[in-house]
Amino acid sequence: MPEKIMPKLLVFMSIKRKSFYKDKNMLIIYEDKYLDEIINLWNQNVEKDRLLKPWTKDYFKQKFLSNPHFNKELFMMYQENNKIIGIGHASYKSLDSIDPGFISFILVDQQHQRQGIGSSILKALEDKLKTYGKTFVRNLFLSPFNMEWYIDDHYPHDHPGMPAVAQNTDYYFLLMNNGYNIDGQQQDVYYQDIRTYQIPDKIKKTIEENKQIGFNITLYDESKHHGFKSLFEALNNKTWLEVVENNLSKKDPLPMLIIEKEGKILGWTGPLITEKSKRGYFAGIGVHPDVQGHGLGKALFSSLIDYSRQNGAEFMSLFTGHLNPARNIYLGAGFKIIKSFSVLRKNL
């Protein structure tokens, strides 16, 4: 009789042990008490690749907790034996189903990778996004939680946000292996150290030739220049108009470079800022379709670089779609493509 009972008892004990182990591995949502552990996990695991920037408590509070789009249910953590070994974050801008959800990042401690933890966090975030009416995820720079990163081989030069998902990274392969697909133009990042930049002689000649026919590159003066609205309507770019209007609404607007002829604005770039990292800020550049073909775009961009250098900037970085004709302006000014990103999407 004892011989028949013993195997059943062993099976029962095995089941109990397995259940107990599972209880020690679970997904939980953000709570302030985990903040130190989150910061440590992040910093220890981004240092190796030197791609994503490290965090401080103040940074985390400003980036996440103070952001009106932050939802603690969309900041998920994977806990093993009461230790956080993986984190992930998602967001959305509105509850409208036509707007995407975003996955900001998935990070798993290096010693626990390749065990399905990242996929578990990702699936949990996707399921949670569905409860908020999201029907798809699309990862690109429109996310309200865009992550800052260091430029390859040029540390500590940085860029303020990810254009999309960096190609051939662990995160990229995690998404691709979990049903994400490329959905949009490849986004290329351009970079140049500008500490010794000089406007090329060829561009100087173009600037002088255009002056002779009335096209001048100068700083915007509200008392002399007009036509921002008509310029951006012609370029079909409401975003740049908003950038300009927001700047001009400030008590002390930042300077902006323009192309003008007889006071009418025919080209724009700016606002002109040197960031704390010594990066020369770049919001965009546009030339009115009626005056394109005179080399004005290249001349305006070279003037921006030179102005930024004089204003204390040490480098510039920017990104654009690989099919955007503006790439010729950037490459012509000496910029190099240093990293490429893919816009990824998954229907939920």
Q: The pTM is what?
A: 0.84
75: enclosing H helix or E strand: strand 75-80
Per residue in 122-134, pLDDT tens? 999 999 999 999 9
By the 8 A CB rule, do 86 and 107 touch?
Answer: yes
Instruction: Decide which of 344 and 48 is more confident.
Output: 344
Instruction: Return d(Cα 147, Cα 36) in angstroms, integer.
Output: 19
Per residue in 84-140, pLDDT tens? 999 999 999 999 989 999 999 999 999 999 999 999 999 999 999 999 999 999 999
By the 8 A CB rule, do 141 and 162 touch?
Answer: yes
Token readout for 219 is 């700083």
Instruction: Return d(Cα 83, Cα 37) in angstroms, integer.
Output: 8
Per residue in 196-247, pLDDT tens? 999 999 999 999 999 999 999 999 999 999 999 999 999 999 999 999 999 9
Output the pLDDT for position 24: 62
Q: If you write DSSP's letter for every residue of 105-143 in order, what string do you get?
A: EEEE-GGGTTSSHHHHHHHHHHHHHHHTT--EEEESTT-
From residue 113, give the alpha-carbon distance in Å to each of 49, 85, 106, 120.
15, 9, 11, 12
Instruction: Return d(Cα 318, Cα 157) in angstroms, integer.
Output: 12
Give the SS3 label for residue 78: strand
